[in-house]
Amino acid sequence: MQIAIVKNNIVEKSGEHRKLFPNISFPKTGPSEDWLKNNSAWKITSHIDLPNTNCKIVETTPYFRDDPAGGHVYSVKVVELSDEEKNEKNTQSMTFKRQIRNTFLDQSDWTQMPDSPLSDSKKTEWATYRQKLRDFTSLNDWVNTEFPDKPS
Protein backbone atom coordinates (compact mmCIF):
# COMPACT_ATOMS: atom_id res chain seq x y z
CA MET A 1 0.00 0.00 0.00
CA GLN A 2 1.30 3.44 -0.91
CA ILE A 3 1.14 5.81 2.05
CA ALA A 4 2.37 9.27 2.97
CA ILE A 5 3.50 10.70 6.28
CA VAL A 6 1.76 14.06 6.65
CA LYS A 7 2.71 16.79 9.16
CA ASN A 8 1.00 20.19 9.17
CA ASN A 9 -0.76 19.31 5.89
CA ILE A 10 2.57 18.71 4.13
CA VAL A 11 3.74 15.32 2.85
CA GLU A 12 7.10 14.63 4.50
CA LYS A 13 7.68 11.11 3.14
CA SER A 14 5.83 8.73 0.88
CA GLY A 15 6.23 5.21 -0.41
CA GLU A 16 5.25 1.61 0.09
CA HIS A 17 4.25 1.01 3.72
CA ARG A 18 6.67 -1.90 4.26
CA LYS A 19 9.61 0.20 3.07
CA LEU A 20 8.67 3.22 5.17
CA PHE A 21 8.23 1.00 8.25
CA PRO A 22 10.52 -2.01 7.69
CA ASN A 23 10.50 -3.11 11.33
CA ILE A 24 6.73 -3.40 11.63
CA SER A 25 4.79 -6.50 10.66
CA PHE A 26 1.58 -5.60 8.82
CA PRO A 27 -1.34 -7.82 7.84
CA LYS A 28 -1.68 -8.68 4.13
CA THR A 29 -4.28 -5.92 3.77
CA GLY A 30 -1.78 -3.33 4.97
CA PRO A 31 -1.95 -0.90 7.88
CA SER A 32 -5.31 -0.46 9.60
CA GLU A 33 -7.14 2.86 9.58
CA ASP A 34 -6.33 3.27 13.28
CA TRP A 35 -2.62 2.59 12.71
CA LEU A 36 -2.54 5.12 9.87
CA LYS A 37 -4.27 7.76 11.99
CA ASN A 38 -1.98 7.15 15.00
CA ASN A 39 1.12 7.47 12.81
CA SER A 40 0.12 10.56 10.79
CA ALA A 41 -0.02 8.34 7.72
CA TRP A 42 -2.47 8.60 4.86
CA LYS A 43 -3.30 6.23 2.03
CA ILE A 44 -2.24 7.72 -1.28
CA THR A 45 -5.04 8.11 -3.82
CA SER A 46 -4.01 7.68 -7.44
CA HIS A 47 -7.27 8.76 -9.08
CA ILE A 48 -9.13 12.05 -9.46
CA ASP A 49 -12.30 12.57 -11.47
CA LEU A 50 -11.83 14.81 -14.47
CA PRO A 51 -13.87 18.01 -14.25
CA ASN A 52 -14.22 18.23 -18.06
CA THR A 53 -12.92 16.72 -21.29
CA ASN A 54 -10.23 19.36 -21.78
CA CYS A 55 -8.17 17.96 -18.91
CA LYS A 56 -5.98 14.96 -18.24
CA ILE A 57 -4.53 13.24 -15.19
CA VAL A 58 -0.77 13.25 -14.67
CA GLU A 59 1.34 11.60 -12.00
CA THR A 60 3.03 13.88 -9.51
CA THR A 61 4.85 13.85 -6.21
CA PRO A 62 2.30 12.98 -3.50
CA TYR A 63 0.65 16.05 -1.97
CA PHE A 64 -1.97 16.70 0.69
CA ARG A 65 -5.21 18.41 -0.28
CA ASP A 66 -7.62 19.52 2.40
CA ASP A 67 -11.25 19.01 1.52
CA PRO A 68 -14.65 18.75 3.26
CA ALA A 69 -14.13 15.01 3.80
CA GLY A 70 -11.02 15.70 5.92
CA GLY A 71 -8.33 15.72 3.27
CA HIS A 72 -6.60 13.27 0.98
CA VAL A 73 -3.11 12.58 -0.29
CA TYR A 74 -2.95 12.33 -4.05
CA SER A 75 -0.23 11.10 -6.39
CA VAL A 76 -1.95 12.54 -9.45
CA LYS A 77 -3.25 15.93 -10.48
CA VAL A 78 -5.55 17.32 -13.14
CA VAL A 79 -3.97 19.54 -15.78
CA GLU A 80 -5.42 21.35 -18.78
CA LEU A 81 -4.72 19.77 -22.17
CA SER A 82 -2.31 21.70 -24.37
CA ASP A 83 -3.66 23.23 -27.59
CA GLU A 84 -1.90 20.47 -29.51
CA GLU A 85 -3.53 17.77 -27.34
CA LYS A 86 -6.95 19.42 -27.73
CA ASN A 87 -6.52 19.49 -31.52
CA GLU A 88 -5.44 15.82 -31.57
CA LYS A 89 -8.40 14.84 -29.38
CA ASN A 90 -10.77 16.77 -31.64
CA THR A 91 -9.31 15.11 -34.74
CA GLN A 92 -9.78 11.68 -33.14
CA SER A 93 -13.37 12.54 -32.17
CA MET A 94 -14.12 13.70 -35.72
CA THR A 95 -12.63 10.54 -37.20
CA PHE A 96 -14.60 8.31 -34.81
CA LYS A 97 -17.86 10.18 -35.42
CA ARG A 98 -17.37 9.95 -39.22
CA GLN A 99 -16.78 6.19 -38.91
CA ILE A 100 -20.06 5.78 -37.04
CA ARG A 101 -21.87 7.91 -39.64
CA ASN A 102 -20.37 5.83 -42.45
CA THR A 103 -21.46 2.63 -40.72
CA PHE A 104 -25.03 3.95 -40.48
CA LEU A 105 -24.95 4.74 -44.20
CA ASP A 106 -23.53 1.30 -45.05
CA GLN A 107 -26.15 -0.43 -42.92
CA SER A 108 -28.96 1.41 -44.68
CA ASP A 109 -27.76 0.95 -48.29
CA TRP A 110 -30.26 -1.87 -48.80
CA THR A 111 -33.18 0.54 -48.30
CA GLN A 112 -32.44 2.29 -51.60
CA MET A 113 -31.95 -0.78 -53.79
CA PRO A 114 -34.51 -1.44 -56.55
CA ASP A 115 -35.36 -4.83 -55.03
CA SER A 116 -35.84 -3.42 -51.49
CA PRO A 117 -39.05 -4.72 -49.84
CA LEU A 118 -39.89 -1.21 -48.57
CA SER A 119 -42.86 0.83 -49.78
CA ASP A 120 -42.15 4.02 -51.72
CA SER A 121 -43.02 6.16 -48.67
CA LYS A 122 -40.64 4.14 -46.46
CA LYS A 123 -37.90 4.40 -49.10
CA THR A 124 -38.39 8.17 -49.03
CA GLU A 125 -38.10 8.22 -45.21
CA TRP A 126 -34.86 6.28 -45.44
CA ALA A 127 -33.56 8.48 -48.27
CA THR A 128 -34.22 11.57 -46.11
CA TYR A 129 -32.44 9.94 -43.16
CA ARG A 130 -29.46 9.04 -45.35
CA GLN A 131 -29.25 12.60 -46.67
CA LYS A 132 -29.25 13.91 -43.09
CA LEU A 133 -26.34 11.55 -42.37
CA ARG A 134 -24.43 12.80 -45.42
CA ASP A 135 -25.06 16.44 -44.40
CA PHE A 136 -24.24 15.73 -40.75
CA THR A 137 -20.60 16.90 -40.86
CA SER A 138 -21.66 20.33 -42.14
CA LEU A 139 -23.65 21.07 -38.96
CA ASN A 140 -22.21 23.44 -36.36
CA ASP A 141 -20.44 21.47 -33.59
CA TRP A 142 -21.36 18.22 -35.36
CA VAL A 143 -18.85 16.24 -33.28
CA ASN A 144 -21.00 16.92 -30.19
CA THR A 145 -24.35 16.57 -31.95
CA GLU A 146 -26.59 13.50 -31.81
CA PHE A 147 -27.16 11.57 -35.01
CA PRO A 148 -30.58 11.84 -36.66
CA ASP A 149 -33.13 9.24 -35.66
CA LYS A 150 -33.32 6.18 -37.85
CA PRO A 151 -36.72 5.50 -39.46
CA SER A 152 -38.70 2.67 -37.98
19-46 tens-digit pLDDT: 999 999 999 999 999 999 999 999 999 9
Q: Are residues 21 and 33 in the same domain?
A: yes
Is there a contact between 30 and 19 (Cβ–Cβ < 8 Å)?
A: no
Rounded mean pLDDT, 13-24: 95
- Tens of pLDDT, residue by residue over 63-78, are 999 887 778 999 999 9
Q: φ and ψ at 143, to 5 degrees?
A: -65, -30
Q: Are residues 75 and 25 in the same domain?
A: yes
Instruction: Identify the domain containing residue 111 by its residue range.
Output: 83-144
Residues 95, 100: Cα–Cα separation, whole Å: 9
- Closest to 46 measured CA to CA, from 11, 28, 72, 66: 72
Q: Are residues 90 and 105 in the same domain?
A: yes
Rounded mean pLDDT, 107-111: 97
Q: What is the pLDDT of residue 97?
A: 97
99 within domain boundaries: yes
Q: What is the pTM of this model?
A: 0.66
